[in-house]
Amino acid sequence: MTLLNPLLLYFGLVSISVPIIIHLLNRRRFERVVWAAMRFVQLAVQQNQRRIQVQDMLLLLLRCLMLLVLAMALSRIACRSGASAGLLGQSSVSAVFVLDNSYSMSCTDGVRSRFDQAKDAIVQVIPTLPSGSSAAVILASDIANAVIPEPTSDLNLVRRVVHEARLSDRGTNLFVSLRAAVEILKGRAAAGREIYLFTDGQNCAWKQLDECRALLEQARTDPALLVRVHLVFVGAHEDQNLGVSALRSASGMAAVNWPLRYEVEVTNYGKEDAHDVPVSLKVDDEAASDQTIIDTLPANSAKTVALFAKLHSDGFHSVTASIPADHLPADDQRTIVVRGINQVRILLVSGETNQSPRDWSTFFLKHILQPVPLAEQDQYWIKVTTISPAELEDQKFDSFDCVIMADVADFTVPTLDSLAAYLTRGGGLMIFPGAHTQPNFYNALLLNTYHFLPASLGEVHGDASKNDVFFSLQNKNFEHPIASIWFDAAAGSPAAAHFYRAFTLIPAQDALKPSDKLKTDKALAYAARAGAPRVVLRYGKGTGDASMDNRPAVMERTWGQGRVILFSSSADSRWTDLPARPGVFAPLVYRSIGAIVARQDEALNIRVGEKFIYHPDVSLLDKYVLISKPPLRQAYDFKDAAAKNPAPDSRKIDLSKEGDAPVFIYDQTDQAGVYTCKLPDTSAPILFAAQPDSDESSLEDIGVLQLEVLGRVADVVKWSPGMSMEDKIEKERTGAELWLPLAVLALFLALTETAMADWFSRSK
């Protein structure tokens, strides 16, 4: 029990003394006069005195009880189960408002988004906080963004922060924010502690439901906390949603003025089939370059369509795939950034340069990469430079998109350091071994120290002098994107090539032995940049020699922002006839270079919330980059276009942690779309794009059983526009008030007292 107006009860208790005082004052004392005629009256009074005293006491009791009940009614006595009220009113509360700002909250009912509805609900709750209360605010997605990290008694500030809150394009994991809210309330001195979570009830937001239940149960029952949690679900149920769930380049190198293929995946997250869905593709702010229509898209399924576009200039471009707008605008388009290439620059390093150029290790590579007459090579889009290993140490690798080593025996340490910096910034390295290759050197430095290689070079198998004994590449079960061209039987088969001699490729484990003192911090730092080894192609069944059956023939790994591809055999015809089979060799080399160039562009497309890492030229060290964010999506929140575009951020270009490359890092990527980076002393900006999590497009609601679980540890409220949160929260905080039945009882006592007084006053 508690009193919402306890002061009135105290006045009521004092007022009970009024009828008692009046009663005592009415007991007047008379002077006794002996009069013979009054003897008969005295006898009658003595006979009725006891009855009159009982009647007076009964009326006095009714009057006192009536005043007491009336005072209790005016004091607003109520039933509650929380902390007791203060002497002069309700106790102050420390509250944490948790507002879901993940991109599913952008779903609208055609008028207002769920996010705006949640803000309306918060505004209704704030006035219910008792005098002296304080509140913190957390924006919840897959992270807890505490915009007011400590409860403040300035509730106007809380209102302003809630009003200015903006949607993000992040996914949702509400456990993270609930845990942060509980941590904020620990040690707070207020008598009441409350958490209000405003979300849309999306099922995927409760990935850690068991952890949420355990957390809230502990917070509710812990004597040091006693937190009351309110889960407020906003937004009407939505059955239909189509979204662009993926967009990727399928052309490898984005050559300028060439038709480029893009694959667009559209997913139907709804419960009914969708029909005649138009899908369009555009570059930058141009008109749509291609469009198609998906005839039927079944419920809970996805379809991928191919669309084409051209880049009309080199540099960075945005490519956007779109579908018609629906109630969830966040996934109606998806944008990636690609880098248009006027030319691809390849550095060939030939391990054999003592003989005629036709016998160099890079002879076939050069002619595959520049299949045009000598007079036209300067105008061809692939530019090739050939050098010897002796020239490597003085070479500036950043001038090239890819470096191809063919039968190079070994490298100097400065060359390896230069290659490490080059790969860190997004360069590419292809290695073809041969007769000059020193496997022990490659394994010791390129693998165990620098961790460039996806595999160690093992035993050499085969005899190049025997043409009837050879190994062949696989002809089915292709898994790597480089080999995906051979999914189509019309493209031929890599099994047509014969390998007479090859190294065994043993996939790298990158396990450093603690006892090996040579593998120091440098090796550990390089190991951290190396990605997992992957097999591009395997050998199939050998002819006359089964030693290489099903072993890797080509492997690759990412390294820093770059990629390294390792072949098991030579690039010339000494060990294999692969170079003499252009139908296999050309697509394999071109797609490998395309994978390297694509790796450079992979860094331009990140997930929402991830860090963008870019390695500029060393001349820009210690200068600043200006980063412009995508325009905010909630255009209706802004009075003018300028307010829609956030102010640019700046980041300093520093040395990387390893100290070997300039880098700037940008981590404020909560919005999906294109970010523009203006580097100092450069005219063309760098673009990158943040991609939203497609799982957030599923609007499936949390289930009944899950709601029952949450209902055991929290107050669950389904809020809709027009519903008042004030009465709901006030009742949950104070309990059911008893003023109405007490007022009725006071009225009944007053009527009873009046009737009995009239009855007792009648002549007997």
Q: Say if 239-341 and 603-698 have the same CATH topology.
A: yes
The pLDDT assigned to 409 comes to 94
Most confident range (mean pLDDT) of 671-675, 745-749, 760-764 is: 671-675
Angle between helices 521-529 and 413-424 (to 10 degrees): 40
How far apart are alpha carbons 278 and 650 in whole angstroms? 39
655-665 pLDDT tens trace: 877 666 788 99
User: Could you say which of 3.40.50, 1.10.10, 3.30.1050, 3.30.230 is the CATH number of the domain covering 344-460+503-538+553-597?
Assistant: 3.40.50
**What confidence tier does 731 reach under pLDDT thresholds 50, 70, 90?**
low
* pLDDT of residue 633 exceeding 70: no
499-543 pLDDT, tens digit per residue, is 999 999 999 985 445 444 445 667 788 888 899 999 999 999 999
Are the beta carbons of 593 and 382 closer than 8 angstroms? no
User: Which residue stretches of 289-411 are H helix?
Assistant: 363-369
Beta bridge partners of 678: 626
- Mean pLDDT, rounded, for 166-170: 92
- When the candidates are 3.40.50.410, 3.30.420.40, 3.30.930.10, 1.10.3720.10, the CATH number that belongs to 93-238+701-734 is 3.40.50.410
Strand, helix or coil for residue 210: helix
Alpha carbons 556 and 554: distance in angstroms, whole number: 7
Question: Mean pLDDT across the stretch 439-458?
Answer: 94
The domain over range 239-341 is classified in CATH as 3.60.20.10:
no
What SS3 state is found at 318? strand
CA–CA distance, 703 with 383 (Å, rounded to integer): 60
pLDDT digits (tens, 9 = 90+) for 8-33: 666 666 666 766 666 666 654 545 65
Dmax (CA) for the chain in angstroms is: 164
Q: Which residues of 314-347 are buried (b: 16+ CB within 10 A; e: fewer)?
A: bbbbbbbbbbeebbbebbbbbbbbbbbbeebebb
What's the Cα-to-Cα distance from 142 to each of 44, 145, 445, 483, 679, rounded to whole Å? Answer: 91, 9, 41, 36, 31
Tens-place pLDDT, residues 169-192: 999 999 999 999 999 999 776 668
Quick check: 728 and 717 in contact, CB under 8 A? Answer: yes
What mean pLDDT is predicted for residues 61-77?
75
User: In terms of C-beta density within 10 A (0-12 exposed, 13-18 middle, 19 or more buried), how is residue 678 classed?
Assistant: middle
The full set of domain ranges for the chain reads 2-79+739-761, 93-238+701-734, 239-341, 344-460+503-538+553-597, 603-698
Residue with tokens 């991109």: 103
Per-residue confidence (pLDDT) for residue 579, from 0 to 100 = 93
β strands within 501-648, DSSP E: 501-507, 534-538, 552-559, 562-567, 605-607, 612-614, 624-628
Q: Per DSSP, what are the bridge partners of residue 217?
A: none
Fold adopted by 603-698:
Immunoglobulin-like (2.60.40)
Q: Residue 538 carries which side chain, given as an amino acid letter?
A: R
CA atoms within 13 A on the CB side of 731: 10
Helices (H) and strands (E) in the chain, counts: 16, 34
Q: Is residue 292 pLDDT above 70, yes or no?
A: yes
CA angle at residue 14 from 8 to 17, to 5 degrees? 145
